[in-house]
Structure 1
């Protein structure tokens, strides 16, 4: 028994109107949040009206939601953050798709690990370059600091350093299994 489902592959409409991949993810997850709230409403309505026609429409909605979430994970794979995968899991739990939830998480994990490893290696190179640059700038700053005392401004919030980003990426890689719910 085979079933033909609507395909969301590529998300052509979104990719034509929204060029940046990160912004496409934001749009798709806004849709996913709306789907989850709609499914909760449908679930409450099912308790009131359980006619055959309403059940059929509900099944179609659930099947499309499942296909949508699977296609989002398939299309964006390792680019999805742990907060994104948590939203995917919440939607799949809302429709009661426990096995699909597990398989989607495994798929995401397999694609996320190489992305994190690549990011860690890039950040390590960036940290090494920054350390090398700091050694050179310390020599110059010692010479010029005597003449510039009292003129520096204090920043309220320093930008995230490469070291902090590296530690965050390493922690995410170590704790990747904790994101399964």
Structure 2
């Protein structure tokens, strides 16, 4: 485990073996990082956030509680995972809000998914396994497994395989990965690996 001297890591955080937390990153109380994770410069990991093994949180990404991040997830530079559907700094009477004045909602990211640079995921949403959110996208609804989503608001424009490469349609409802040769089947707007 490697923690840069300028990082702010709570004594209550759990950092897995082989993980690295780089300069100026903050990992809050109760956060849990699996083995071999990387938290980049200036990134923020909120209280109680759970991150699976082999995940990469790039520079200046903001992962607010109560996010749950799967194994092998890539979160690009300056990505934001929000936690307040209707944010306000003050109550209707003008008083500064406290933690007791709102209920945090989180973003859930499935194993193997990738979130591109400066994308924003507006909680509560779930990003499916092996999905890819393009750089700069704004996700406001759930993303299926293996989906490729782009834009504001994000919409599905294709499918990606476990290698992250856009799939090619071999026949109606059958997709192939040009990088690995894996075959996927599309059923009612969802994709599954052929042998599953």
Normalization by structure 2: what TM-score? 0.24
More contact order relative to length (CA 8 Å, sep ≥ 6): 1
Give the structure with the higher percent strand. 2
